[in-house]
Structure 1
Amino acid sequence: MNEASDPSKVVNLSQRLDPTAERVGELLNAVRNIAGKRLQQSIGNAFEHVDDALFDLAEKAENNAAQMHYFDGMREVRKRRPAVERSFLSRVNRDLGELAHPQQRPFGAGASTPSGAVELTLVADNELEESLAITSMTSKHESRLSRDLFAVNQRLSVICGGHKIEDSGNPVAPAGLTQAFRHALHELSADMRVKLIIYKLFDRYVLSSLEDLYQDINTELARAGVLPQLRQEASRGNAKTAGSSDPAQAAAGEEASEIPSDLLQTLHALFSARRGPAAGVHAGPTGPLPSANELLGALSVLQSQIASAGPLPYADSDDAAALSREVMQLKGQLLAQIGALRGEKPGHVASIDEDTIDLVGMLFEFILEDRNLPVAMQVMLARLQIPYLKAAILDRKLFAHRQHPARRLLDGLAEQAKGWSEESDRDHRLHEKIKSIVDQLLHDFDDDMGIFERLLLDLQQFQDLNKRRSELAEQRVAESTRGREKLEQARRRAAREILDRIGGHKLPPLMHGVLARAWANHLVLTLLRQGEGSPEFRGALRFVDEFIASTRPATTPESRHALRQMLPGIERALRHGLANVAFQEQDIERLLGQLHAYYRQQLGEVPATVEATGPEDAAAVLSIPDGIQPVISQDAPVDDDGIDGEVVEVPLDSPEWHQVQALQPGSWLEFCMPDEAMTRAKLSWISPMSGRYLFVNRRGLKVADYSPQELTVLLTDGRARILAGNALFDRAMTAIVGKLSQPDATPPADTAAE
């Protein structure tokens, strides 16, 4: 006979020990000692592997910033490890000591809320991933360790005066240990990515070794006479279900046990809390709950109706809003379809199926409200609600696993759609590809989950091909922009060098024209070809000094002698410099002739006549070849913001300025300029010289380039908007959990009775 079914062997929780007795204190201390030794060893093992794990990730990091996150995390963990271990062990020890005093216990033994659900009702967006990781870990190990943990709970209940202790109230249960560790990690200021790695190691080296801890506790307490005959039989679900002879109930219980108990469990708790205690009461016809096959059959009928109707005629925001309302009415349509198939409309569906229906509905409602997607793409992706509901019923892991093919496919479609605009997709290649994948799911998906993997591969091949094309175009745009910036930088440098040397001198128009036009361009080309540290550039600057000095009045024999000594060098340098900027020989001779006449006047060899050529004639005298523009003018000062450039000033503490400073290449923005169509563009390159931001469309073609100040103004005025960079599914799950966790949130519309 099974001991669990033998009335003489059933555990009687009325058997209790006086919690104030010395014997109880000894037993509880024994449990604390066992837990302390085991946990100290296992938490030490976990931290011994943190360095290696973070170092491996740093080596594989996609960029320097990510690499530094991991290295900073390594340093932080080394420094704070003793404090984290001490906090974790002391909290577990304290909670075990308080088990005999239920009014002081922090866990609330006997609470019906599943592990992690209470935690997630208050979760902030940036803690969602941490909370889901914790929920996943605790659920997995509670199921795996249910037999040993059941016996520990029973024996602790006895020595603590008969106060019933369950998994949620046991400090050494997976949930209790994980929450203690989460509290201890507050000692760390590391990046969340680092903390998630530490959680994985905690899972591997602490939670995975709990069998030994539970066996030690059970052996010690049984040896001390606490329920020595107890068989380690876990309580499996509802007693009515366990003992029921109804095959339908048994099948339902079996199906529920196969559902992943991480994210789905958390959301189930949130949905249940929102529906309230009367959630299972539904008006209208009653009957057996629809089976999974009935749900899938009804969904297939609805799916075929959508597929045969062709593309939906929604094209603007008003129509998308109408479609959003229809998305949340699917539950009523589904029950009506089941009623048509079986002859009677069921009153409601099983809670796990209702949660799945509501969750998928909220996912697609989010898609239709997601401003990161163009309206046309929102509407197209919204047609996938029924195929994804079928997929979620067939495989509950869809919402829990980031690498699930169906999830990756939807994320991939959304990522491609994010950069779509009519202007950048004139050949309709992207639009047709997304439409093709949507149509294939609507027409071909029945129950073969492999279709998601095949379509994902198809999308990735399309993406890779277009990525190669766009990268080539981006490279050409960046190189062209880089070349223009180098030229502009060289022009500014040349202008500053010349103007600094002119200083307060008022040069004759002819001499100013030589420096501002011909020689400035010679300086620019020398900078670009030889660089600022080259002998050629230094020689070109010496010429400027000598040329300016040659304009000073020569009124003494010494000054005239010095000028005559300078003139041959000036002529040689001018011939070389003018040839360098493509002057023709006859133009060079003409200019030298003008200069000879000027210098003869300076030397007093001929009487001074009318001043040589005014500023308006300088270009004619110099015969500047086509395309060669003056670098500076007589009265235009040059500063770091450009010659005659308008400086845009913005407050450096504004949120928009900080947003601009945080932008990284690969970020997408939406631009809405007056009298122009909406444009979506990717930040392709940030100039290391000017700091300007270069934007391209999805084909790699230039859309615009802005200074940080200009971009800040666009963001402030609402003419530009930064699009989210994380995956659609992650954004949706964060929004859904946040929505369900709001105190004033209402449960999803229940149309089951319609």
Structure 2
Amino acid sequence: MNEAFEPPKIVPLAPRLDASGERVGELLNAVRGIAGKRLQQCLGNLFEHVDDALFDLAEKAENNASQTHYFDGMREVRKRRPAIERNFLTTVNRELGNLASRAAPSASSPAMAELSLVADSELEESLAITSMSSKHESRLVRDLFAINQRLSVICGGRKIEDSSNPVAPAALSQAFRQALKELGADTRVKLLIYKLFDRYVLSTLEELYAEANAELARAGVLPQLRPVAPRGAPGSTPAGQAGATGTGADELVDPAAAELLQTLHGLFVARRGTAMPHVQAGGGPPPSSNELLGALSLLQTQLAAGAAPVHAMAAEVGSLERDMVAQLKEQLLAQLAALRGARPSHVASIDEDTIDLVGMLFEFILDDQTLPAEMQVMLARLQIPYLKAAILDRKMFAHRQHPARRLLDALAEQAKGWSPESDRDGRLHDKVKSVVDQLLHEFDDDIGIFERLLLDLQQFHELNRRRSELAEQRVAESTRGREKLEQARRRAAREIVERIDGRKLPPLVHEVLARAWANHLVLVLLRQGEDSSEFRDGLRFVDDFIASARTPQDAAARQQLRHLLPGIERALRRGLANVAFQPQDIERLLAQLRDWYGQQLGEPAREPAAPAPSSASAIPESIQPIVVADEPAEPDELPEESVPVATDSPEWQQVEALQPGTWLEFQLPDEPMVRAKLSWISPMSGRYLFVNRRGLKVADYAPQELAVLLIGGHAQVLATNALFDRAMSAIVSRLRQPDAPNPNIDTE
């Protein structure tokens, strides 16, 4: 008998309390008043903090689109707040008022209700609801037990449990979820509001329960009831008994995991077409968790020894058997038959759901294009250890911070950027293989091994991250330097071309401008900048030098030219020295110019005669031209045979949404596949710089070029969210499809 309070075993109600009379209504009204007052206050606190929380997220948003979602959410919450508060409080008030007359819920109601909710919203929302409500049901188990007992007395002896108590965490969470249907906001906004509901409503429920229990006790409803938790409740386990990671996992299933598994169980039941397992005569009872763990340990030993019992570990992923769920079940049943001497008739529903989930998780891994093929095969070997972990600790699928889940996500993130070319020393490949091998050889029933391996992998990643970041910085600085140089060359070229303005200049003047002086302007731009007096002086020389090339037609023009020449010579000396002309080269070039200007002014030639202006100049060959008068520099051209991509196309928008740290896969014609991370976007040219996992440059593309590659299928953006999250979403989507395979265990 489950006794949760001290004698007297039966405490009568006050004589005037009648299960159908006014007294019942008064007591329920008292509970409704307490609940309404406290919940209204808590809900007000919640909404007072929504703006600040959303604003903080908007400030930290990765891109403009995310920021817009949060700001839109702020406006939507302000608009819908009165309706949400009203609907939530009305629902709780109504459910409390109807409590005495309500019929007992059917056994299938919770599962079907949860199933309908999952069908109407994203899995992540369901996880938020189940996780936070279960956490507080565990925390408040004693207070809840007391109020459930007292409400049961008020309701004429009908048993009130957490699932049927309108002020229990789960019921309040579901009422709030229904009220949030008024909110047409992004899922990320809703998830934030659920966190605030957890903090400002559910975390304060002990005050509501304490006041309600005290009020009912004063009214004579079980006044001597002591707040003792029922046996088997979370938090009531005596010290030294089995915990959630030992062989006592069956008795101490985590409430959040139980809720999630119940939700997914509904989907599995709907897919199987029946809520009852397939039972065959003579097969014996379903295996216990200990039997399952024993069979899995034997399969794990075989896999560690290279027997690969679940599927043939082929060299190519494409040759792997895809129905891993069916194979896993068949291998497990065969192993159980060997241990028992008889094949089990069926597996308990919760265990079968766990087997299905783990099998589908690893099927997803083998289909996930974010992972390189070799890494897919390596990670697929973890199926048995992860099934053991899921049976030992059912929180794995419900809690994002579970060490087994975080380890798999971390392995997938490391593997995402792997390629033979970027891992020539095999360090990453060997590390992933080492983690896999350690789990296969060492994991028995200690969930702590996942935490230890995760810490080791994080240390490995941190060491390599520092190395790659240094390499990335060098690549970015080198690219930035080249772009600054190219930008300066283009600027110098444009200034000179605009000033020439199509005039036909003498060859010697043209060469000085296009080679020597253009390089001088480039250096001035790089060192002093475009706003410097040196750059303005350099441009003034270009104007004067071009003006000096015009043949003077009269005495005034000749006088003006003579006035210009000393300044031209002084400027040339400084400019030529700036671009590393040797003194003898400077004197030879100036001598050529003096003779040419002498001819322009009609002066007699000096002895010895200088070379004609059209002959080879004194400018060294090392001073390369950066511009010619009739061929201005052009911007980067698009790849051959490509057409401009419209800025409203999905590919262009995809390019604009890319953030540093995003991985892409490139498959160019006649070249090996390359995986590269977006490291840097140039603020000058807008080009996208890509590096491999070692931080070495792989390529850089203009936005237009990258969009063309995406359109042609030569580039693919790899998923940025965690592997486990992608897998869970895919599993739910798959289970909802009408043509999804039937996951029944075939025991024949």
Flag whether TM exceeds 0.5 (same fold).
yes
CA RMSD of aligned residues (A): 4.3
In the TM superposition, what is the alpha-carbon distance from 1:733 to its structure 2 partner?
Answer: 1.4
Residues 544 and 183 (structure 1), Cα distance of their counterparts in 2 relative to 1, 3 Å cut: farther
Contact 2:4 2:230 in 1 (8 A): no
Q: What displacement does 1:393 show?
A: 1.4
1:44 aligns with 2:44: yes
Of 722, 742, 745, the match for 1:751 = 745
- C-alpha displacement at 1:275, in angstroms? 2.8
Question: Does the 8 Å contact 1:474/1:684 carry over to 2?
Answer: yes
Structure 1 residue 725, shift from structure 2 partner = 0.9
1:589-638 Cα shifts (integer Å, max 9, x gaps) = 3322332233223223369x999655xx6xx4243343x32111222134
Alignment partner of 1:346: what SS? coil
Partner of 1:268: 265
* Alignment-derived partner of residue 245 in structure 2: none
The code of the aligned residue for 1:656 comes to E
What amino acid sits opposite 1:294 in the alignment? E
Distance 1:425 1:572 in 2: 57
For 2:293, the equivalent position in structure 1 comes to 296
> 1:307 corresponds to which residue?
304
Q: State the partner residue of 1:242.
A: none
Deviation of 1:476 (Å): 1.1
Residue 684 of structure 1: SS of its match in structure 2? strand
Residue 387 of structure 1: which of 381, 385, 388 is its match?
Answer: 385
CA distance in 2, matches of 1:706, 1:721: 14
Structure 1 residue 101 displacement after superposition: 8.4
Mapped contact 1:54–1:70 kept (Cα < 8 A)? no
Tell me which residue corresponds to 1:240: none
Contact 2:403 2:450 in 1 (8 A): yes
Quick one: which amino acid aligns to residue 541 of structure 1?
L
CA distance 1:430–1:381, shift in 2 (3 Å) = same
Amino acid at match of 1:314: A
Range 308-317 or range 661-670, more displaced: 308-317
The aligned counterpart of 1:378 is 376
Q: Tell whether 2:470 aligns with 1:472.
A: yes
Given that 2:92 and 2:172 are in contact with CA atoms closer than 8 Å, whether structure 1 keeps it comes out as no
1:518 is displaced (CA, Å) by: 1.1
Counterpart Cα distance in 2 of 1:643 and 1:560 = 50
Cα deviation per residue 1:62-111 (whole Å; 9 max; x = unaligned)? x6748997999699659945852552234432564488789xx9x99886
Report the counterpart of residue 728 of structure 2 in structure 1.
Answer: 733
Residues 33, 110 of structure 1: CA spacing in aligned structure 2 closer, same or farther, 3 A cutoff?
farther
Taking the TM superposition and a 5 Å limit, the aligned residue runs for 1:134-213 are 134-142=129-137, 144=140, 146-148=144-146, 150-151=148-149, 154=152, 172-185=167-180, 195-213=190-208
Contact 2:19 2:155 in 1 (8 A): no
Alignment match, 1:704 = 699
| Aligned residue identity for 2:585 | D
User: Corresponding residue for 2:481?
Assistant: 483
Structure 1: distance between partners of 2:221 and 2:646: 71
Q: 1:556 to 1:257 in 2, by over 3 A?
A: closer
Greater mean deviation of Cα atoms: 479-488 or 463-472? 463-472
Residue identity matched to 2:409 = D
CA distance in 1, matches of 2:118, 2:668: 41
Instruction: Find the aligned partners of 1:156 and 1:274 in 2 and give their Cα distance.
Output: 41
Partner of 1:316 in structure 2? Answer: 316
**For each residue in 1:527-577, what CA deviation from the matched residue of structure 2 results, as whole angstroms up to 9, or x when unmatched?**
001111111111001000111111223112111110110011111111221
Distance in 2 between residues matched to 1:101 and 1:258, nearest whole Å: 27
Return closer, same or farther for 1:9/1:148 CA change in 2, 3 Å cut-off.
closer
Partner of 1:593: 591
Contact preservation (8 Å) 1:530, 1:537:
yes
How far apart in 1 are the matches of 2:577 and 2:164?
A: 89
1:511 corresponds in structure 2 to 509
SS of the equivalent of 2:305 reads helix
> What residue identity is the alignment partner of 1:699?
R
Distance in 2 separating the partners of 1:423 and 1:644: 25
Aligned twin of 1:355: 353
CA distances 1:484-511 after superposition (whole Å, capped 9, x unpaired): 0000000011011111111132222322
1:293 Cα shift? 1.7
Amino acid of the structure 2 residue aligned with 1:753: T
Question: In the alignment, does 2:619 pair up with 1:623?
Answer: yes
CA distance in 2, matches of 1:634, 1:644: 27
2 CA distance for matches of 1:98 and 1:64? 40
Code of the aligned partner of 2:394: R
Which deviates the most, 138-147 or 538-547? Answer: 138-147
Question: Secondary structure of the equivalent of 1:113?
Answer: helix
Number of the residue aligned with 1:442: 440
Residue 439 of structure 1 and its aligned partner are, at CA, apart by: 1.4
Whether the aligned pair in 2 keeps the contact of 1:115 and 1:139 (CA below 8 Å) is no
- SS class of match (1:547): helix
- Decide which moves more: 442-451 or 65-74: 65-74
Classify 1:67/1:169 alpha carbon distance in 2 versus 1 (closer, same or farther; 3 Å).
farther
**How many angstroms apart in 2 are the aligned matches of 1:704 and 1:188?**
45
The number of residue pairs the alignment matches comes to 717
CA 1:496–1:185 in 2, change beyond 3 Å: closer, same or farther? farther
- How far has the Cα of 1:400 moved from its partner? 2.0
- Counting only pairs closer than 5 Å after superposition, residues 561-710 of structure 1 correspond to structure 2 as 561-605=559-603, 620-626=616-622, 628-638=623-633, 649-710=644-705
Amino acid at match of 1:121: V
2:339 pairs, out of 332, 336, 341, with 341
2:124 matches 1:129: yes
Q: Partners in 1 of 2:382 and 2:39 — Cα distance?
A: 48
SS in 2 for 1:302: helix
| Separation of aligned partners in 1, 2:639 and 2:591 | 33
**Counterparts of 1:308 and 1:101, CA distance in 2:** 62
The aligned amino acid for 1:705 is D
1:530 and 1:215, CA in 2 relative to 1: closer, same or farther beyond 3 A? closer
TM-score (norm 2): 0.84
Check the 8 A contact 2:130/2:256 in 1, yes or no.
no
Q: What is the distance in 1 between the residues matched to 2:576 and 2:182?
A: 69
User: CA contact under 8 A between 1:469 and 1:699: conserved in structure 2?
Assistant: yes
Per-residue deviation, residues 184-240 of structure 1 (Å, max 9, x unmatched): 446667765554343233223322333554566677789899999999999999xxx
Q: Does the 8 Å CA contact 2:38/2:208 hold for their aligned counterparts? A: yes
Tell whether the 8 Å contact from 2:325 to 2:356 is kept in structure 1 after alignment: no
On the 8 A contact 2:485/2:522 being kept in 1, the answer is: yes
Contact preservation (8 Å) 1:591, 1:621: yes
